[in-house]
Amino acid sequence: GNPECSFVWSNGDTAQVTLADAYGTYVVTITTPFECSIDDEVLIREYCPSALYVPNTFTPDGDGVNDLFFAMGNNLVDMELSIFDRWGELIYSGENAFAFWNGESNGSPVQDGVYIWKLNYRFMVDVNGTLGPEYEEMGHVTVVR
């Protein structure tokens, strides 16, 4: 590619190459130094198997590294994350595919220790955006500051 050209993808990336993290059409506008532009598109339709990853430890100490607890997954489109303390009291609840916990309860940092998480979630199961069944999982996460 020409290093003088600029690239703008429909997902906001400005690199020559983009990472397609979902199904659909990705459009790129390529502009030359002479302000000539052309659009091109690519259709992503290959099915990527769904997978969920939930860490078991995080360090909400404000250093910008590993400060948030969240689940990650291929094709994860719907999620409810709940966090409970050791007495079973709900201390956090978030409802979207990007829900995260910052290690606080009622605006104050929680103590180091083990907390219970519960996830209700769904995956997109095909290129048409069909949602699969709802799953529920529980586990624990250790807070270390």
Q: Specify if 33 maps to a domain.
A: yes
Q: Are residues 27 and 62 in the same domain?
A: no
* Look-up of token digits 């400005």: 14
Q: Are residues 39 and 96 in the same domain?
A: no
Q: Are residues 131 and 60 in the same domain?
A: yes
The span from the CA of 101 to the CA of 82, in Å, is: 9
Q: Are residues 109 and 75 in the same domain?
A: yes
Q: Specify if 63 maps to a domain.
A: yes
Q: Specify if 1 maps to a domain.
A: no
DSSP string, 109-133: EPPSEEEEEEEEEEEB-STT--B--
Q: How many CA atoms does the CB half-sphere of 31 hold within 13 Å? A: 9
Q: Are residues 12 and 27 in the same domain?
A: yes
Domain total in the chain: 2
The span from the CA of 116 to the CA of 92, in Å, is: 11
The span from the CA of 73 to the CA of 14, in Å, is: 24
What is the domain range of residue 99? 51-143
Q: Are residues 27 and 60 in the same domain?
A: no
Helix (H) / strand (E) element for 35: namely none
> Would you write out the chain's pLDDT as a tens digit for each of its 145 residues?
567 899 999 989 898 888 776 778 899 999 999 999 999 998 877 666 678 899 999 999 999 999 999 999 878 888 999 999 999 999 999 998 788 999 999 999 999 999 999 999 998 877 677 888 999 999 999 999 9
pTM over 0.75: no
Read off the CATH number of the domain in which 106 is found.
2.60.40
- In order of 11, 92, 116, 126, 144, the CA distances from 105 in angstroms are 34, 7, 13, 37, 15
